[in-house]
Chains A and B, each alone.
Chain A
Amino acid sequence: KQEVTQIPAALSVPEGENLVLNCSFTDSAIYNLQWFRQDPGKGLTSLLLIQSSQREQTSGRLNASLDKSSGRSTLYIAASQPGDSATYLCAVRQKTSYDKVIFGPGTSLSVIP
């Protein structure tokens, strides 16, 4: 059974700092991994999607990497801003059950001005 974990559960950093969020999954047979952002009381916004054949994806100040063999992904945020404060979730789509997307518990990020 696929399990997705995220470390740390919460993170507080001063504005301008670079930071890394971690995501781990137990079953490496995945189609892709997707990073999301969730603001309090809101739905999820897709940030980056990495296909299983890819190593990384970049969008602006965000860079996501994927090491499928070790079951790990990282989300790197450069020059953090207060507007980056939110919960970040990773999710994997499994090969064994194509239509299932399993989420991690999320990392709550606070960027202090």
Chain B
Amino acid sequence: SQTIHQWPATLVQPVGSPLSLECTVEGTSNPNLYWYRQAAGRGLQLLFYSVGIGQISSEVPQNLSASRPQDRQFILSSKKLLLSDSGFYLCAWRTGSGSEKLFFGSGTQLSVL
């Protein structure tokens, strides 16, 4: 069966520090991968999606970047965090073909202080 792992679960970082959040998927190949952010009291905002290794599409101009170094690995990064980067970050995947369901990781709560 397929599983998605996302870590860390919580993270407290000072303003200006770097960020690296990692997501991996097991039990499938060539998944479509997504990073979403959920700010307090707001809906999910699509940040990045990827249909293959090295293929990244950005939805919102921001202080963040994403990379996909391996087929089932998706990384969210920042060189210098801002206060506005605080939020709940969710990684998700779906199969690369057909109209399949979207599956989510357990999320990372990021607090930038």
Q: Taking beta carbons and an 8 Å cutoff, which residues of A are in contact with B?
A: 4, 31-32, 34, 36, 41-46, 49, 51-52, 89, 91, 93, 99-106
Contact = CB atoms under 8 A, between A and B. Distances in A.
B101 A34 contact: yes
A31 B42 contact: no
Given A44-B90, A101-B34, A51 B99 contact: yes
- Interchain residue pairs A-B with the least CB separation, the first 3: A105-B43, A103-B44, A43-B104
A47 to B, nearest CB: 10
A100 B57 CA distance: 10
Interface residues of B, number: 24
A46 to B, nearest CB: 5
Residues of B contacting A: mostly:
strand
A28 B47 CA distance: 23
Contacts of A4: 43
Interface string B80-105: 00000000101010000001011111
B103 A46 contact: yes
A99 B43 contact: no
Nearest to B100: A49
